[in-house]
Amino acid sequence: MSAVTPTVEQANPASRATIIPSEQGGLTPAQIASFEENGYLHVKGVVSREELQTLSAAESKMSAIAAADQITNSDYFYTRNPHDGKMVLYRIGYTQAKSEEFLKLLGHPRILRIAEAIQGRNMICGGGFSMVTKTPGYGAAIPWHIDPAHCKVRHGINIGIYLDDADAENGMLWVVPGSHKRTGFDLQEQIEQHGFRIPGAIPVPTQAGDLVIHNENVLHGSPVTHSQRRRRVIYSGVRTVEEQLARGLNFPWARGVFRVLQRAIQLRAAAEVGRGETPFEHNPTFAECRVAVNPDDFIELRITDGDRR
């Protein structure tokens, strides 16, 4: 028998503290403490309505081409709709290399300050953005999981940037607060006993423009949907330079990533979307990671890390 979906407050009264109005800076000490305790944080209203419109238009073009042509390179992921047998797009990688609008989003100062507030000055934004989508008619489930962190120094975070409202109908995220601190938890046993509604799980309804940040090691997932409403989330993984070096990566790789970030910051500052913003100033403690980028420099926008462990 399926359980009735609780409200956030019913499921976890303390979680009300994770739904926080947008601010101009990074995060407050209370917000950071909430994230460290719960393993996730919901921050409302970070991306403007105007920017969401341009991102949505750029994403629609990418997804329409991918759906029509069934692109076979490794940046595009499909699943089969079990009801009609058709292949359905559910993920696109490295969107900042496919659209200038997404590259400008990578330079969003509020998002970068939030990342820095959690991970510190040596935060590094992985290889860029991936988009996960639940398409109209069939939105594939994302089973309960933790991200394959294999932490060496400090767990990374994933920042989800919502292009659409997300609720029970179109497949909002569910999390198990505090699960990033658990040991000896048999996830498969819990799924076999309870289905998707495992003990402690709560929904995280969001609005377009919100962020949901989660620790790589917190349990999270979303159910299959049959809504006619899309649900699109842009994900950016953020670790520390120290973590990436411990995984076998090196300073030349880190400088390549930071060159992409600097180009994104420059592009945004010169664009209409960046008008009135104070650009993010990245100042890592490692001198080897400090880069200077000229507007005419060639920048490789698709930097991979191979999930080094």
pLDDT in tens, 230-272: 999 999 999 999 999 999 999 999 999 999 999 999 999 999 9
Single-letter residue type at 45: G
Between residues 13 and 91, the one the model is more confident about: 91
pLDDT of 4 higher than 50 = no
pTM: 0.89
Mean pLDDT of the chain: 88
pLDDT value for 18: 39
Single-letter residue type at 201: A
Element (H, E) at 142: strand 142-145
Q: Three-state SS across 249-291?
A: CCHHHHHHHHHHHHHHHHHHHHCHHHCCCCCCCCCCCCHHHCC
Average the pLDDT over 96-100 and give the result.
Answer: 95
pLDDT digits (tens, 9 = 90+) for 144-173: 988 866 789 999 999 999 999 999 999 999
Other beta carbons within 10 angstroms of residue 232's beta carbon come to 22
Average the pLDDT over 57-69 and give the result.
Answer: 91
pLDDT of 14 higher than 50 = no
So what's the architecture of 12-249 in CATH? Sandwich (2.60)
pLDDT of 207 higher than 60 = yes
pLDDT of 28 higher than 80 = yes
Task: Enter the DSSP assignment of 238.
Answer: E
- CA distance linking residue 22 with residue 42, whole number of Å: 10
Share of the chain above pLDDT 90, in %: 72
pLDDT of 25 higher than 80 = no
pLDDT of 20 higher than 80 = no
Average the pLDDT over 222-230 and give the result.
Answer: 94
Single-letter residue type at 175: V
- CA distance linking residue 38 with residue 30, whole number of Å: 12
pLDDT value for 148: 67
Average the pLDDT over 208-217 and give the result.
Answer: 96
- CA distance linking residue 223 with residue 172, whole number of Å: 8
